[in-house]
Amino acid sequence: MKKVYIHAYMAGNLGDDLMVKLLCKRYPKVKFFVFADESYQHRYQDITNLSVIAPPNKTVTFRDGIFKKTWNRDDIVRGSDAVVHIGGSVFVQHFDDWSNFYQADSRLVRDSKKIFVIGANFGPYENPEYYQQYEQLFRQYTGICFRDQYSKNLFPNHNNITWAPDVVFNYQPKHRPPTKKQVLISAIDLKDRGGKYSICQYQKDYETFLQNLAICYLKKGYLVQFVSFCKMQGDETAIQRMIGKIPSEYQENLSTYFYDTNLEECCSLFYESEIIVGTRFHSIILGWLAGKKVLPIIYDFKTRNTLADVPSQFVLELHDLKTIDPQQMADQLEQMPPFQPDELIQQASKQFAALDQIL
C-alpha cells in the first residue's frame, strides 16, 4: 500500500477539511497521513485510509522499552511515496519578509520523493522576488494544478503546471435533501483582517448589507440561515453580531449553523436552500455545485480570478456594498436562473490528473 503525506491547513475550516476528505476518498487503497489536532481524529473518523497524527501521538515507544523515536513531519515526508500539498490560498505574500514560508515549502520539496500541489491559486504578491523564487521552486514539483487560469498563466513555461475547476466540484453528497424556501448566508469576520491586504475598513458596510438583505428575505417569507465555516477565523463572532441586530419579530425564521465536525450535515444546507449568499470561497463553490441561485461577495483576489473563469450574473465587491439596495438585490436574486454546474463538475476531476498517474 502506498503512503502519502498530506500537507494542508487543518484549523477547522470547512473548505480545507472537505478537500482532504475528497482526496482520501478518491484513492481508497492509499494510506494517507496528516498532522492535525486531536479534534480531527473525530472529524475524520469515517475516513478509514487516513491517519491523523496529533501532538500526543508523535512519540512511539517500541516494545523493548529501550528505543524511542519522535515522529515529526520530516520523518513522515521522507518515508512517504508522495506528498500532496492541498489547499487554496497557499502561495500568498502575506508579509514583506516571506522567507520562513518559502523555506518551509523548499524543505518540503527537498524531502519529498514526489510532490504535488492540488487546488491552489498563486498570489497576490507585491515583491517580484517572491514570484521569481517560487517560479524556480515550482520546476521541482512533480505536478501542480491550480484552480484558476490566472495562476496557471503566470507560469507559461512550466509543463508540470495545469489548471482545473476547484477540487470541491468533485464532491458528491450522500443524499440531496428537498429544497425549501430558504436563504443560506455564508459570512466572515472582517474586523481583524488588516495587514498587507486589509479589508477591515469594510466591516460596517458588509455586516449592515447582510443584515438588511436577511431582513428583506424574512419579510418575503423565507427562512434565513447564517452559516459559519471556520470558528477560529471569527465567522461565528461576526454572525452573532449581525443576527443580534435583526429585529425580534423576524427571529423566529432566523437560524445559524456553525460548522464543527460534521461535513456532510453542513454541505446538505446548500442543497436544501434556494438561494446562497456566499462570502467564503467554498460557499460559492458549494452553491454552484448544488445548482442554486448564488450571489458571490468578493473579499479577495482568489474569488475574483475564479469568477473570471465562471461568469456569474451578479457579483458584489466589498466596496460596492455601501451603495447597493438590499431590497433590489433580493428581488433580482429571486429571478436569477439556477446555476448549471455540469461542465465544471466534469472538468474538476482534472485536479487529480497528475496524481492519478502514480496512485
Q: What is the CATH number of the domain that holds 68?
A: 3.40.50
Q: What is the pLDDT of residue 197?
A: 83
Q: What is the pLDDT at residue 312?
A: 66
Query: What's residue 223's pLDDT?
Result: 98
Domain match, 107 and 160 both: yes
Cα dihedral 259, 264, 267, 272 in deg (nearest 10):
-120
d(CA 351, CA 225): 32
**Are 109 and 61 in the same domain?**
yes
The CATH number covering residue 279 comes to: 3.40.50.2000
Are 163 and 222 contained in the same domain? no
* In a shared domain, residues 132 and 267: no
As a whole number of angstroms, the distance between CA 178 and CA 290 comes to 12
| Residue 4 amino acid letter | V
Q: Quick one: pLDDT at residue 317?
A: 93
Give me the tens of pLDDT residue by residue for the chain, a chain 359 residues long. Answer: 999 999 999 999 999 999 999 999 999 999 999 999 999 999 999 999 999 998 654 444 333 333 344 567 888 999 999 999 999 999 999 899 999 999 999 999 999 999 999 999 999 999 999 999 999 999 999 999 999 999 999 999 999 999 999 999 999 998 899 999 999 999 999 998 877 788 999 999 999 999 999 999 999 999 999 999 999 999 999 999 999 999 999 999 999 999 999 999 999 999 999 999 999 999 999 999 999 999 999 998 778 888 888 876 678 999 999 999 999 999 999 999 999 999 999 999 999 999 999 99
Please indicate, yes or no, whether residues 143 and 234 belong to a single structural domain of this protein: no
**Distance of alpha carbon 203 from alpha carbon 240, whole angstroms:** 14
Q: Which residues contact 104 (CB under 8 A, 6 or more apart)?
A: none
Q: 124: cis peptide before it, omega within 30°? A: yes
Give the pLDDT of residue 58: 44
Q: Is residue 175, in this structure, part of any structural domain at all? A: no
Domain that holds residue 165: 3-170+347-356
CA distances from 44 to 13, 22, 143, 357 (A): 13, 11, 26, 26
Beta-carbon count within 10 A of 257 CB: 17
Q: Return the closest-CA partner of residue 122 out of 94, 88, 159.
A: 88
132 in the same domain as 117: yes
What is the pTM assigned to this prediction? Answer: 0.94
Query: Using DSSP, how many helices (H) and how many strands (E) does the chain show?
Result: 14, 15
Decide the pairing of beta strands 59-61 and 68-70.
antiparallel
pLDDT value, residue 66: 38
Q: CA-to-CA distance for 92 and 106, rounded, in angstroms? A: 15
Same domain for 157 and 192, yes or no, is: no
Supply 12's cell numbers.
Answer: 477547522
Q: Are residues 139 and 280 in the same domain?
A: no
Output the nine-digit C-alpha cell for 141: 514539483
Per-residue pLDDT, 71 = 62
> Structurally, how many domains does the chain consist of?
2
Q: Residue 91 corresponds to which cell in the numbers above?
A: 502561495
